[in-house]
Amino acid sequence: MTELQPTNPMVLGDPAITEPAIAGPAVGGRGLRGAIRDFSHNRMGMIGLAVIVVMLLFSFVGPLLYPTNQTHPNLLLITHRPSAQFPLGTDAVGYNVLGRLMVAGQSTLEVGLAAAAIATIVGTLWGAVAGYVGGWLDSVMMRIVDALLAIPALLLVLLLTTLVTPSVIMVIFVLGLISWLITARLVRGQVLVLRQLEYVEAAHQMGERAWRIVGRHLVRNVIGMVVVQATFEVANAILLFAALSFLGLGPPPPAANWGGMLNDGLNYVFDGYWWLIYPAGLLIVITVVAFNLIGDAIRNSLEVRLRSR
Amino acid sequence: MTRFLVRRVSQSVAVLIIVTIVVFAILHFLPGSPARAILGMRATPAAIQAFNVANGYNRSLPVQYLLYINRLIHGNLGFSYHFDQSVGSLLALDLPKSALLVGLSYVISLLIAIPMGIVQALRREKPLDHALTTFSFVGYAMPTFWLGILLVVWFSSDLHLFPSEGPQGASVTASFANPSGLVLPVATLTIVTVAQFSRFMRASAVENMLQDYIRTARAKGLPDWQIVTKHLFRNSVLPIITLVGLSLPGVLSGAIIVEALFNYPGMGWLFWTATGAHDYPVLMGFTIVVAAATVIGNLLADIAYAVADPRVRYQTS
């Protein structure tokens, strides 16, 4: 069977053999330190990392330095143009847009990171168990993954959000619980290869329990691939969260997120209120691109290391 | 080949059964009951009881599931509370309109993405490649609805070139009657899809460029354009067949957004409206139809791939 994965297309770089050594002689260090060094020589990856650090500072430290009222609407201040007082204007209920972008960034980044964390843990365990145990359990587990992959992610999210009151925590769980599928597939594929290797066989012969073999040997060996996938899941979760908010199923105001801000701005498309339409969208795009660049760079550094062995 | 077909088809059937179980389970974890949703908050317990008996909701869950499957097999997708119509007739009306939107976007996306990926592979690591890669990254990172909003701002609000709303006709022929309304929805979905397809196409073409047969073709003096048309194109397009099947759920997710944004009355718009109205039969019917389309699409893509590429040999273990 062809095992083409519906994975993130942005990871599709050039085949490893033609890729020039990214960092010259420094390439090929061993272990975690080597991987970090390889990564730090990848310019795009470092740009991505820097962008994420800036976004985190902007969202979590920004409101401390630039406190604004994001709870109580102020109807005397609606849709002010950008000015010295309001660098990015105010929105339809009088919130300071710059301050709101900061607060909204908090929930957006929290949802992205936490949903990806849940997805990664569930997906890794699911894939490792399916691949290691094999047999009919593997078949059943992987058919479940196939079935969930056959339903568009947005449909699943919408179905699930009709069940719960939207809050940041609920959105994190819903997105986490539908984002683990690709990770599970990748891990299972890798574990199928790994479990035939001598050292796993040896551990088995020495009487180590199955869950210990999965936990100690298999999971540890797929961690690189899993981390790469996790960065893409952060990006995907941010996009899904934005889509959800656009469809009116995100956390209700005064809670803020970037997708929800765009949804609010949608009503003013024909009024020329550009500050309600561009800034939040740009922040989403920049953040998602940055996570993709990081994932791409980690993948490259792992590949470079594999090749130079 | 026969054994491969049998195995592949039975896998697909298993997947579809799991889809129905998942969807059925979600329905039954719902807070409240269908009776409350239809009869309203003031319904008397007796009325609710009567409704549940009439609709079989008083039976045990496995029995309800089997009854549900039985209805499904007979083509009965349920009855919409909100639209007061059978789900089947709603889908029959709205599905062609979504198919038009998605189909057009698919065709245009492939027509753009395939040459784009090949050009990128030929000009690898050159400025043109970098520019197109940047386009793909940004296109992929863009929330679909934001892209749609930007197109509306630029081409509808500022330039007055195209309407900001999709065709409003009830049937698919009415959609054709108003082609200018289709431009922005199709463009939105196309840009997002091209961003993904062109990456796959580039990767596929780059990999083929390194193969011996390309070197041979070059060594015997074939001009570049003939290498591309005779060898590279055919071999690097093949994996895209599978991709077209696999990417259907993603494109349909985009279609929901696009239809909601452009107020285009297709399946996605129907689904979105049903979400707001908690109209579960519509949600379930839609989900199952889409999942079935995806599973069958993947199956056909796999078979087409096996037929089209003589190198593909499936293990029959």
Asked, for residue B314, whether it belongs to a domain, the answer is no
Proportion of chain B in helix, strand, coil states, percent, rounded to 5: 80, 0, 20
| Judgement on whether residues B42 and B131 belong to the same structural domain of the protein | no
The residue among B54, B87, B120 that closes a domain is: B87
| Judgement on whether residues B123 and B260 belong to the same structural domain of the protein | yes
- Does B141 sit within 8 Å of A235, measured CB to CB? yes
Cis peptide before A254 (omega within 30 of 0): yes
Percent of chain A whose predicted confidence (pLDDT) is above 90: 7
Q: Which of A48-57, B9-18, B29-38 has the least mean pLDDT?
A: B29-38
| Judgement on whether residues B126 and B248 belong to the same structural domain of the protein | yes
User: CA torsion, points B20, B21, B25, B28, in degrees to nearest 10?
Assistant: 60
Asked, for residue B268, whether it belongs to a domain, the answer is yes
More confident residue, A197 or A306: A197
| Judgement on whether residues B209 and B185 belong to the same structural domain of the protein | yes
Averaged over A125-140, what is the pLDDT? 85
Give residue A2's pLDDT.
36
- The residue with tokens 């499957």 is B69
Give the model's confidence band at A1: pLDDT under 50 very low, under 70 low, under 90 confident, else very high: very low
pLDDT higher than threshold 80 for residue A165: no
| Judgement on whether residues B56 and B108 belong to the same structural domain of the protein | no
| Cα diameter, chain B | 86
Residues 181-220 of B with CB under 8 A from A: 195-197, 199-200, 202-203, 206-207, 210
Asked, for residue B316, whether it belongs to a domain, the answer is no
* A234 inside 8 A of chain B by CB: no
| Judgement on whether residues B280 and B142 belong to the same structural domain of the protein | yes
Q: Which conformational region is residue B166 in: left (phi greater than 0), alpha (psi within -120 to 50 degrees), or beta?
A: beta
| Judgement on whether residues B53 and B157 belong to the same structural domain of the protein | no
The residue among B87, B109, B138 that closes a domain is: B87
- Is A131 in contact with A192 (CB distance < 8 Å)? yes
| Judgement on whether residues B12 and B103 belong to the same structural domain of the protein | no
Structural domains in chain B (count): 2
pLDDT higher than threshold 80 for residue B293: yes
Tell me how far apart the alpha carbons of residues B195 and B218 are, in angstroms, rounded to a whole number: 30
* A170 inside 8 A of chain B by CB: no
Residue of chain A whose alpha carbon sits nearest to that of B14: A143
The residue among B30, B53, B87 that closes a domain is: B87
Asked, for residue B304, whether it belongs to a domain, the answer is yes
Task: Determine the structural domain holding residue B6 and report its residue range.
Answer: 2-87
Strands (E), B67-177: 79-80, 85-86
More confident residue, B239 or B96: B96
| Judgement on whether residues B38 and B115 belong to the same structural domain of the protein | no
- Residue B164 sits at φ, ψ, to 5 deg, of -90, 5
| Judgement on whether residues B161 and B303 belong to the same structural domain of the protein | yes
| Judgement on whether residues B182 and B245 belong to the same structural domain of the protein | yes
pLDDT higher than threshold 80 for residue A186: yes
Asked, for residue B317, whether it belongs to a domain, the answer is no
> Does ipTM top 0.95?
no
Residues 123-182 of B with CB under 8 A from A: 124, 136-138, 140-146, 149-150, 152-153, 157, 164
- Does B141 sit within 8 Å of A292, measured CB to CB? yes
Give residue B83's pLDDT.
78
Averaged over A47-59, what is the pLDDT? 89
Residues 6+ apart with CB under 8 A from B17: none
Tens digit of each residue's pLDDT (9 = 90 or more) over A202-260: 887 888 777 777 777 777 677 878 888 888 889 889 988 988 888 878 787 777 888 88
Average of per-residue pLDDT values in chain A: 78
Give residue A12's pLDDT.
61
CATH number at residue B233: 1.10.3720.10
Asked, for residue B116, whether it belongs to a domain, the answer is yes
Give residue B177's pLDDT.
72
Asked, for residue B315, whether it belongs to a domain, the answer is no
| Judgement on whether residues B189 and B96 belong to the same structural domain of the protein | yes
The pTM score is 0.83
Give the model's confidence band at B317: pLDDT under 50 very low, under 70 low, under 90 confident, else very high: very low
* A2 inside 8 A of chain B by CB: yes
* Nearest-CB residue to B250 (from A152, A266, A285): A152
